[in-house]
Structure 1
Amino acid sequence: LIIPKKLQKNLPYKDKPKVMALKKKKEKVAVVRDIHESQVASMMKKLKTIYNEKREEERRAKVKRLKDFKKKIEAEEARKLQRQRKMKKDVFRTLSKTESKKTQF
Structure 2
Amino acid sequence: MELSLFLSLFGFLWVAAITPGPNNMLLTTSGANFGFVRTIPLMLGIMFGMQIMLLLIAFGVGNLIILYPALHLFLKIAGSAYLLWLAWKIMTAAYESLEVKDHPEKTLPLWQGAV
* Same fold at TM > 0.5: no
Q: Which has the higher contact order (CA 8 A, sep 6+)?
A: 2
Q: TM-score, normalised by structure 2?
A: 0.25
* TM-score with structure 1 setting the length: 0.28
